[in-house]
Amino acid sequence: MAGACRIAAETLKLVCDMARPGIKTLNLNRAAEAYIIEKGAKPAFKGYRGYPATLCVSVNEGVIHGIPNSRALKDGDVLSVDVGVLIDGFYGDSARTVIIGEGTAETIRLVEVTHAALHAGLGQAVAGNRLSDISSAIQQVVESNGFSVVRDFVGHGIGRRLHEDPQIPNYGKPGKGPLLKAGMTFAIEPMVNTGSADVRILPDRWTAVTVDGKPSAHFEHTVAVTENSPNILTKL
């Protein structure tokens, strides 16, 4: 899995470094796909349940699963990029949110809090904890900062398949669910809204957007549970 995760992390870096006002998300998608294929890997999302692209690119009120298109990014956009990679039979999955050009005080805080929430969750991915310790840690960071946790989508187990059990909600009471053991691998992925937690799906049947049109952010890492500190496989 380390191999798949490294390529996913490198692809995210490539794409986020390219993202600036004027660039189209389709161009980001093309660069990501070329990079993954050059590494001898496969884009994991393309063709998954009919998803048409290598990247998910979700802009502003976009929460997740946005399909790349020919609209140009502009100053202040909140861009969430998600990528999955398959190589040698194993998957890696990672996402990051960046602000194009200059953000507002609120969008900057949204991105910081969502990133902090992911890392709070990752910090609980240690042997001996319960699964919902991850969920609870994420919810605590998000809500104590006045933002809301999206409940319609969850993190997941990952390995020989992109989505494996268990589902990992980004909210819940601690101390519940399966006991974590060394060697378990998870994709932990908080989606955080500045306004209401509610989302709806656009007529393209993929793009999830906030119902109130306010901005949303998404960070994801694939992590391996160990006896000690979590091994974040999609960290460069």
Q: Which residues bind ligand MF3 (CB under 6 A)?
A: 45, 48, 51, 56, 65, 82, 93, 95, 156, 187, 189, 220
Q: Which of ligand MF3, Co ion, none does residue 219 bind to, with CB < 5 to 8 Å depending on kind?
A: none
Nearer to ligand MF3, 45 or 90 (CB): 45
How far apart, in whole angstroms, are the C-alpha atoms of residue 183 and residue 214?
A: 38
Beta strands at 148-149 and 199-201: parallel, antiparallel or unpaired: unpaired
Residue from 93, 194, 207, 210 touching Co ion (CB under 5 A): that is 93
Residue 145 tokens, joined: 């900062």
Nearer to Co ion, 10 or 93 (CB): 93
Q: What is the residue type of 127?
A: A
Q: Which one of the spans 41-49, 105-113, 180-188, 191-199 is the region binding Co ion (CB under 5 A)?
A: 180-188
Q: Which of ligand MF3, Co ion, none does residue 192 bind to, with CB < 5 to 8 Å depending on kind?
A: none
How far apart, in whole angstroms, are the C-alpha atoms of residue 68 and residue 160?
A: 26
Q: Which residue is nearest to ligand MF3 (CB)?
A: 51
Residue 232 tokens, joined: 């974040």
The answer for residues whose C-beta is within 8 angstroms of residue 95's C-beta and 6 or more apart is 12, 56, 64, 80, 81, 82, 83, 189, 218, 219, 220
What totals of helices (H) and strands (E) does the chain contain, helices first? 4, 15
Q: What's 130's DSSP letter?
A: B
| CB 49 to ligand MF3: min, Å | 6
Nearer to ligand MF3, 33 or 93 (CB): 93
Q: E strand or H helix at 221, and its extent?
A: strand 221-224
Site string for Co ion, 21-60 (x = CB under 5 A): ----------------------------------------
Nearer to Co ion, 5 or 103 (CB): 5
Calculate the alpha carbon distances from 126 to 63, 97, 116, 147, 167 in Å: 28, 25, 17, 26, 17
Q: Residue 187 CB: number of other CB atoms within 10 A?
A: 27
Residue 190 tokens, joined: 């908080």
Residue from 64, 110, 187, 188 touching Co ion (CB under 5 A): that is 187
Nearer to ligand MF3, 103 or 134 (CB): 134
Nearer to ligand MF3, 33 or 82 (CB): 82
Q: Which of ligand MF3, Co ion, none does residue 104 bind to, with CB < 5 to 8 Å depending on kind?
A: none
- Under the rule (CB under 5 A), what is the footprint of Co ion? 93, 187
